[in-house]
């Protein structure tokens, strides 16, 4: 299995979430969003738990939903969640060079989206609805408009300094 470190999980809290959504399988996505907002990702134990507790679902089917949608993560996200918009407008205005610059500054292991130290996670998203600001980058809900490789480089340096 993956080397996922065991996160302490408060199952009473999960029960409360399930209860608030009536243990209804049609609410699965909202349930998962709620849980992810607490843990910043979806730990395996929770997937099993949710799959067992909701009638008509199984761990495998919950896992299927999680891996279908890009918004759900199976690994803990970093302290700084960087989202690079790669919608059409951002793409033509040069989002890829911005992403390349980020990856150069923050090297990731192959197949992973979070750095080993847990500081950064990087993902591309399809259209943030901020096309007027293209290319846009969002870091922890803060929008950085009209990015260039040079500008994002400074922003990352600032974040790194803040963290020291």
Tokens for 28? 């699965």
Q: Which stretch binds other proteins (CB under 8 A): 27-35, 66-74, 76-84, 125-133?
A: 66-74
16 binds other proteins (CB under 8 A): no
Beta carbon of residue 59, minimum distance to other proteins (angstroms, whole number):
4
| Contact set for other proteins, span 27-56 (CB under 8 A) | 44-49, 51-52
Task: Give the residue with the Cβ less far from other proteins, 11 or 20.
Answer: 11
Report helix angle 95-105 to 149-163, nearest 10. 30
d(CA 125, CA 151): 19
Nearest approach, Cβ of residue 86 and other proteins (Å): 17
> Which residues, at least 6 apart from 155, have a Cβ–Cβ distance to it below 8 Å?
137, 139, 144
Q: Which residues pair with 83 in a beta bridge?
A: 123, 138
Task: Return the number of the residue (46 or 122) whose C-beta is nearest other proteins.
Answer: 46
- Determine how many CB atoms are found less than 10 A away from the CB of residue 55: 8
User: According to the binding rule CB under 8 A, does residue 60 interact with other proteins?
Assistant: yes
Q: Does 149 bind other proteins (CB under 8 A)?
A: no
Question: Judging by beta carbons within 10 Å of its beta carbon (0-12, 13-18, 19+), is residue 57 exposed, middle or buried?
Answer: middle
| Contacting residue, 63, 72, 80, 120, with other proteins by CB under 8 A | 63
| Residues near other proteins, by CB under 8 A | 1-2, 8-9, 11, 44-49, 51-52, 57-64, 67-68, 74
């Amino acid at each position: 299995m993956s080397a996922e470190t065991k996160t302490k999980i408060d199952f009473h809290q999960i029960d409360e979430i399930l209860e608030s959504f009536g243990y209804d399988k049609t609410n699965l996505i909202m349930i998962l969003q709620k849980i992810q907002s607490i843990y910043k990702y979806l730990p395996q134990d929770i997937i099993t738990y949710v799959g067992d507790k909701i009638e008509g679902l199984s761990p495998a089917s919950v896992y299927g939903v999680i891996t279908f949608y890009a918004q759900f993560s199976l690994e803990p996200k970093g302290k700084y969640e960087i989202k690079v918009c790669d919608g059409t407008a951002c793409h033509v205005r040069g989002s890829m060079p911005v992403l390349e610059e980020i990856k150069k500054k923050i090297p990731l292991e192959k197949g992973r989206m979070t750095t080993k130290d847990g500081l950064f996670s990087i993902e591309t998203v399809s259209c943030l609805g901020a096309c007027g600001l293209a290319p846009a980058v969002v870091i922890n809900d803060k929008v950085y408009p009209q990015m260039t490789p040079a500008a994002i480089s400074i922003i990352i340096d600032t974040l790194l300094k803040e963290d020291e």
